[in-house]
């Protein structure tokens, strides 16, 4: 549940020590609700009492800021310095969680005399027993379930984007009131605060409480979408709420209403017992946060959205869809690869066709005559081949056994003419084979007639008997 610094939930002390949103501050619009309270007095304190299990306090960090401490139920839970070289807002100053459910009091204290500020507080309320989820129902000021008395003409409507859903009901008529009958375990009321606002009287099931107008004199300007009242532990059944103005000597009986949120507890097996944040009120940017039990982590500054729970079937469908998508991509890549490969193969075949084949007449000129085939190995000369006078290159037109397979015999003339179909081609004479005379056999100096003997080289060099005698 978010509580802005201008809410009557806060008690600022001592009197005059805190200032509401100084003017001409460029960072003001960055604060939650575009407002904050600042104090430069040592010992200045901002106190809030709440019913719940946890709390988080937010403020600013600036270059001239000083030190502070945060205590809950009299025990210091955090202390530190708000000094920072660069200005920053919505900074966590202190927190506490896992408190026993009930009423607690938190205090932010200026400990050093330097400036500190407070922006907002989020406290964690509990609706229903553990394991239940808080179901929120919003009643905007224009909802027909709200009855405006003594008559609708006694109330006026103001339109502004700063209001929930852009509208707000207000009245300055004496004894004017707004009532709502509802069923739920907790209720929260939102409206505006300003210096000239009268006290607001709230009756819930006959129990009357008075909300001080102008947040006890601690606001200096109009603030909208402010939590004015919260009450839990109402129990089951119907409840009756009556909101009315309580005029003082210095104010008129002014009362306004912007939004009412009702929370009811419902059992849900899909919701974890650790955290069950509620959704956002209609048109709200500063939404309350209510959970069934406490949480150990601070809530988000933005409006929380209920955590959706995806069914098992949806998860399986998502996995199958992902697998099908991957398979589809693989098939597409395979088809593209095969297409590219086929195109490349066709290009290679086309390039091979464009090359002129080797025809018979491109061979050795000596083999151009019909019927002469190229030599298998021209290195070793063979006897010249038999020359044929046939001029057709089709083997089936000859009666030669080598070209058998056709019924027609060899012919060079037409049946009706004695003139050869093709003039005879003279037989070309091949040059005689070249003979190379063999070299004479070298003389054998070691042979004389039929008697062969070995020449002793030593005897040729040294022709002395005493050297060859031993031999």
- Verify that 16 and 5 share a domain, yes or no: yes
Say yes or no: 106 and 217 in one domain: no
* Ordered DSSP codes for 299-368: PPSSPP-PPP---HHHHHHHHHHHHHHHHHHHHHHHHHHHHHHHHHHHHHHHHHHTSPP--GGGS-GGG-
Residue 406 Cα distances to 246, 324, 391, 396, 397, angstroms: 130, 64, 16, 5, 7
The sheet carrying 116-118 orders its strands as: 18-20, 37-39, 116-118
Length of the chain: 471
Residue 428 clears pLDDT 90, i.e. is over it = no
Place of tokens 């996995």: 319
pLDDT score for 461: 47
pLDDT of res. 384: 54
- Using the 3D structure, point to which of 233, 250, 268 is the last residue of a domain: 268
- Give me the mean pLDDT over the 446-457 stretch: 47
Do the domain assignments include residue 188? Answer: yes
Same domain, 121 and 218: no
Q: Does any domain span residue 29?
A: yes
Compute the average pLDDT of residues 257-284. 60
82 and 167 fall within a common domain: no
DSSP 8-state class, residue 237 = S
Residue 231 belongs to domain with CATH number: 2.60.120.260
Please, which pLDDT band fits residue 152 given cuts at 50, 70 and 90? confident
Domain match, 256 and 220 both: yes
Same domain for 65 and 146, yes or no, is no
Whether residues 147 and 94 fall in one domain = no
Contact criterion met (CB below 8 Å) for 300 and 288: no
The pLDDT value recorded for residue 39 is 96
| In a domain? residue 61 | yes
| pLDDT range class, residue 341, cuts 50, 70, 90 | confident
**Does 231 share its domain with 248?**
yes
Q: How far is Cα 459 from Cα 449, in angstroms, rounded to an integer?
A: 22
| 204, 106: one domain | no
Contact 289, 299 (CB under 8 A): yes
Q: pLDDT band at 198, cuts 50/70/90?
A: confident
Q: What pLDDT, on the 0 to 100 scale, is given for residue 291?
A: 39
Residue 235 pLDDT level (bands cut at 50, 70, 90)? confident
| Within-domain flag for 218 | yes
Q: Which two tokens stand for residue 307?
A: 């955590």
First-to-last alpha carbon distance for the chain, in angstroms, is 135
Lowest mean pLDDT among 99-103, 129-133, 183-187, 324-328: 129-133
Residues 138 and 255 reside in one and the same domain:
yes
Q: Is residue 351 part of a domain?
A: no
If asked whether residues 132 and 213 sit together in one domain, one would say yes
User: Quick check: is 274 in a domain?
Assistant: no
Could you give the dihedral angle defined by the CA atoms of residues 331, 333, 337 and 338, in that order, rounded to the nearest 10 degrees? 20
Please report which confidence band the pLDDT of residue 252 belongs to, taking 50, 70 and 90 as the band edges. confident
Q: Which of 105-109, 243-247, 370-374 has the highest mean pLDDT?
A: 105-109
Going by pLDDT thresholds of 50, 70 and 90, the confidence category of residue 348 is low
> Taking a C-beta distance cutoff of 8 angstroms, is the pair 289, 279 a contact?
no
Residue 28 lies in a domain: yes
Q: What is the pLDDT of residues 66-86, one digit of tens each?
A: 999 999 999 999 999 999 998
The residue out of 108, 125, 142 marking a domain boundary is 125
pLDDT tens digit sequence for 291-320 = 333 333 344 333 333 334 455 666 677 788
Confidence of residue 156 (pLDDT cuts 50, 70, 90): very high
Residues 2 and 93: their CA atoms lie apart, in Å, by: 15
Domain count for the chain: 2
Residue that terminates a domain, selected from 232, 250, 268: 268
In a domain, 441, yes or no: no
Question: Looking at the DSSP assignment, which residues form a beta bridge with residue 69?
Answer: 79, 109
- Check residue 316 and give its pLDDT: 79
Whole-prediction pTM: 0.59
On average, the pLDDT of the chain sits at 75
User: What's the distance, CA 61 to chain centroid?
Assistant: 32
Give the pLDDT score at 225: 94
Q: How many CB atoms lie within 10 A of CB 301?
A: 17
CA 418/CA 89 separation, integer angstroms: 121
Same domain for 236 and 160: yes
Give the structural domain span for 248. Answer: 127-268
């Amino acid at each position: 549940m978010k509580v802005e610094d201008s809410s009557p939930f806060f008690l600022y002390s001592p009197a005059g020590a805190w200032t509401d949103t100084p003017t001409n501050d460029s960072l003001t619009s960055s604060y939650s609700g575009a407002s904050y309270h600042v104090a430069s007095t040592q010992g200045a304190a901002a106190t809030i009492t709440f019913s719940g299990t946890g709390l988080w306090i937010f403020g600013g960090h600036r270059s001239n800021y000083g030190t502070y401490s945060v205590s809950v139920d009299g025990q210091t839970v955090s202390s530190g310095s708000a000094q920072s070289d660069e200005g920053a807002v919505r900074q966590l100053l202190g927190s506490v969680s896992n408190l026993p459910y009930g009423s607690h009091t938190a205090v932010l204290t200026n400990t050093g005399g330097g400036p500190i500020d407070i922006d907002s507080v989020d406290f964690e309320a509990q609706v229903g027993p553990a394991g239940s989820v808080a179901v929120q129902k919003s009643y905007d000021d224009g909802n027909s379930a709200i009855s405006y008395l003594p008559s609708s003409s006694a109330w006026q409507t103001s339109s502004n984007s700063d209001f929930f859903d852009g509208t707000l009901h207000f009245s300055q008529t004496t004894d004017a009131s707004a009532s709502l009958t509802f069923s739920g375990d907790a209720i929260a009321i939102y409206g505006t605060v300003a210096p000239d606002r009268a006290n607001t009287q709230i009756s819930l099931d006959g129990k009357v409480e008075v909300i001080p107008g102008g947040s006890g004199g601690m606001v200096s300007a109009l603030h909208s979408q402010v939590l004015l009242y919260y009450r839990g532990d109402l129990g089951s059944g119907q409840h009756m709420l009556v909101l009315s103005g309580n005029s003082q000597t210095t104010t008129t009986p002014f009362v306004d209403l912007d939004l009412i949120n009702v929370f009811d507890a419902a059992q849900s097996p899909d919701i974890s017992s650790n955290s069950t944040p509620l959704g956002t009120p209609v048109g709200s940017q500063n939404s309350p946060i209510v959970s069934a039990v406490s949480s150990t982590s601070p809530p988000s500054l933005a409006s929380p959205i209920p955590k959706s729970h995806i069914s098992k079937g949806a998860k399986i469908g998502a996995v199958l869809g992902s697998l099908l998508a991957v398979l589809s991509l693989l098939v597409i890549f395979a088809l593209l690869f095969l297409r590219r490969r086929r195109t490349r193969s066709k290009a290679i075949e086309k390039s091979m066709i464009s090359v002129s084949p080797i025809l018979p007449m491109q061979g050795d000129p000596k083999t151009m005559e019909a019927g002469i085939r190229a030599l298998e190995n021209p290195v070793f000369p063979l006897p010249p081949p038999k020359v044929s006078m046939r001029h057709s290159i089709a083997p089936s037109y000859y009666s030669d056994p080598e070209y058998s397979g056709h019924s027609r015999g060899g012919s060079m003339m037409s049946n009706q003419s004695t003139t050869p179909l093709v003039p005879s081609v003279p037989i070309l004479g091949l040059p005689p084979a070249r003979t190379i005379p063999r070299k004479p056999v070298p003389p054998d100096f070691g042979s004389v007639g039929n008697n062969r003997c070995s020449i002793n080289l030593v005897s040729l060099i040294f022709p002395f008997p005493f050297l060859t005698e031993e031999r």
